[in-house]
Amino acid sequence: MLRAVTAMGAGKLLGTNLRARRDEQGISLSELARRSGIAKGTLSQLESGAGNPTIETVFSLSNALGVPVSALLADTPASDVVLVRSADVDVLSGDAIDLRMLRRLEHPGGLFEIYNQEIRPDAVQHSDGHPGTEHHIVLSGCLRINAHGQIEDLGPGDYLAFRAAGPHSYEAVDGPVRSVLLLEYPPDVYPTAAGGPHLPG
């Protein structure tokens, strides 16, 4: 059976999942605001499905709650064959990157998130870091990644992986870049997905 997955809408889906994760952990909006550095009023708007969340906002909430990004953005499909049209998935934008989360994959060895990633030229996307390992495969353009003090330029077909815990950045060189981003989380990072002990948020 083939199931086509369409987006509920990043804002609405985030609001539903955010409230559910917060309720599961028994924390208030005020406490989540303290942990994430996001104003309580903004969090209230996000939970109601309003606003247009950015990459930075979603990763801040992910880190504050101790859950993977996909726990806030994914609508879990159940089918033997899953089709996701990128055009049907809402964009999560940052300073230089547009992300579309295509799939969340759980198994006993960990959790994976697959993204369609587009990097816009003339800007640099900075990340303070997050759990897991990033795997990048460039489809078109030239992608410059700065991680762990090492700068690499990747062309079509090139692959790079690095642990994402520290600061890192992305930049499109000489025009836009299309790539695939795979985020890999080992089972001890987000054990709610893989069955291990829960780490504090």
0.95 surpassed by pTM:
no
Q: DSSP alpha helices (H): ranges in the chain?
A: 10-25, 29-36, 40-47, 55-65, 70-73, 191-194
Comparing CA positions, the residue from 152, 175, 176, 171 lying closest to residue 162 is: 152
Question: Residue 194: its pLDDT value, please?
Answer: 36
| pLDDT score at 79 | 57
- pLDDT tens digits for range 122-163: 899 999 998 899 999 999 999 999 999 999 999 999 999 999
Single-letter residue type at 78: A
- Measured distance CA(31)–CA(25) in Å, rounded: 11
Q: How many residues does the chain have?
A: 201
Of residues 16 and 132, the one with the higher pLDDT is 132
Return the CATH number of 88-185, one of 3.30.70.980, 3.40.50.1700, 2.60.120.10, 1.10.287.70: 2.60.120.10
Per CATH, the architecture of 2-77 is what? Answer: Orthogonal Bundle (1.10)
54-88 pLDDT, tens digit each: 888 888 888 888 888 878 877 655 556 778 888 88
pLDDT at 111: 87
- Domains of the chain, by residue range, sit at 2-77, 88-185
